[in-house]
Amino acid sequence: MGQTHLEQLFGLRGQVALVTGASSGLGVEFARGLAMAGADLALLARRFDRLQTVAKECEALGVRALPVKADLSDEDQIDAAIEQVTTQLGPIDILVNNAGIAPVSRAEHHDKAKWQQALDINLTAVFLCTQKVGKQMIERQQGGRIIMISSVLGEGANSVHKTIGYAATKGAVTNMTRQLAVEWAPYGITVNALAPSWFPTEMITDPRVGRVNDTQRERMELLTPMSRLGREGELLGAIVFLASPSASYVTGAILHVDGGWRAW
Ligand SMILES: NC(=O)c1ccc[n+]([C@@H]2O[C@H](COP(=O)([O-])OP(=O)(O)OC[C@H]3O[C@@H](n4cnc5c(N)ncnc54)[C@H](OP(=O)(O)O)[C@@H]3O)[C@@H](O)[C@H]2O)c1
């Protein structure tokens, strides 16, 4: 049976996608979206039990799914993870650099260890994964898709949380996206960033109350023209689009999914 029109536009059947930070939050949604479009999934993070649960969910959608335990602060573990994915699933067609952290403390007290953690995970690991997977894509000569998960806070300040390292690294990721898009355009590799505003995940949960705290939520809503946080499912279409055949001429783009946050 031939492909439907929708499959021609957005189908990812037979492609291999690696999603970092797939054990919680937005990474789970990205994995789910790519699986819904037919991609086989490699799911990377440190919490293996969580990855196994996500893998089962993806497999139930009719694709292969491989949980891969790795700490992105360790380059040897990144190398081993990429090797495991290519051996067990095949060459990576789609890389989603989603893993990230947001160490909180006021800029004047932000210690060097916190600063370094943000740099290691949000920037250096993103660069290393991209460089290693991108090199394979170049050698393979079949193009590829690289999707950065940046943030609207890569283009403006965060007046809700005190996260200087996060602001600095997301700004860098956003511009790294543009630089890579230009350098790798001749190879048919598109490099784009998804820039969400606020979505209620572990990252923005106040551990004291187990959810986004009310004062911060009010401020987020005030800063958002749609007066609400993002909901589960509202990033599915964006990730599939950037990975799909439909986005073949889209590169260096920063796609905001933000309830209008960047429109003020
Ligand atoms: N939530 C939002 O409002 C929002 C808005 C804009 C952008 N973003 C971006 O979206 C991405 C996902 O964030 P989230 O909100 O979904 O947060 P989250 O639920 O805290 O997820 C973070 C993910 O990163 C992984 N990770 C962290 N450190 C790691 C390490 N050393 N090695 C491997 N994996 C590591 C975590 O897995 P393990 O702990 O299992 O390793 C987890 O899967 C981040 O890049 C974030 O900046 C989020």
pLDDT of 56-65, one tens digit each?
Answer: 999 999 999 9
Instruction: Kindly indicate the confidence band of residue 67, based on its pLDDT and cuts at 50, 70 and 90.
Output: very high
Determine the length of the chain. Answer: 264
**For 29-44, how does the pLDDT look when each residue is reduced to its tens digit (9 = 90+)?**
999 999 999 999 999 9
pLDDT higher than 80, residue 1: no
- Compute the distance from residue 222 Cα to the ligand 1 centre, in Å: 24
- Compute the distance from residue 96 Cα to the ligand 1 centre, in Å: 12
* Residue 136 CB-half CA count within 13 A: 18
Q: Give the pLDDT of residue 264.
A: 84
What number is the average pLDDT over the span 154-163?
A: 93
- What are the tokens at 187? 């190879």
What number is the average pLDDT over the span 184-189?
A: 98
Q: Give the pLDDT of residue 56.
A: 98
Amino acid identity at 140: R
For residues 47 and 147, what is the distance between their CA atoms, to the nearest angstrom?
22
Q: Give the pLDDT of residue 84.
A: 98
The residue to mutate among 201, 219, 223, 234, having the most atoms of ligand 1 within 8 angstroms of its beta carbon, is 201
Q: Which residues are marked as active site? A: 166
Q: Give the pLDDT of residue 99.
A: 98
pLDDT higher than 90, residue 83: yes
- What are the tokens at 129? 């994964």
Classified as helix, coil or strand, 41 is strand
The residue to mutate among 203, 229, 232, 234, having the most atoms of ligand 1 within 8 angstroms of its beta carbon, is 203
**For 226-254, how does the pLDDT look when each residue is reduced to its tens digit (9 = 90+)?**
999 999 999 999 999 999 999 999 999 99
In the chain the domains, ranked by start, together with CATH numbers, are 13-259 (3.40.50.720)
Q: What angle separates helix 48-59 from helix 25-36, to the nearest 10 degrees?
A: 20
> Which DSSP state fits 262?
G
pLDDT higher than 90, residue 205: yes
pLDDT higher than 80, residue 111: yes
- Compute the distance from residue 101 Cα to the ligand 1 centre, in Å: 6
Instruction: Kindly indicate the confidence band of residue 124, based on its pLDDT and cuts at 50, 70 and 90.
Output: very high
Q: What percent of the chain has pLDDT over 90?
A: 97
pLDDT higher than 70, residue 152: yes
pLDDT higher than 80, residue 156: yes
Sheet holding 40-45, edge to edge: 65-69, 40-45, 16-20, 94-97, 144-149, 189-196, 254-257
What number is the average pLDDT over the span 71-76?
A: 98
**For 92-103, how does the pLDDT look when each residue is reduced to its tens digit (9 = 90+)?**
999 999 999 999
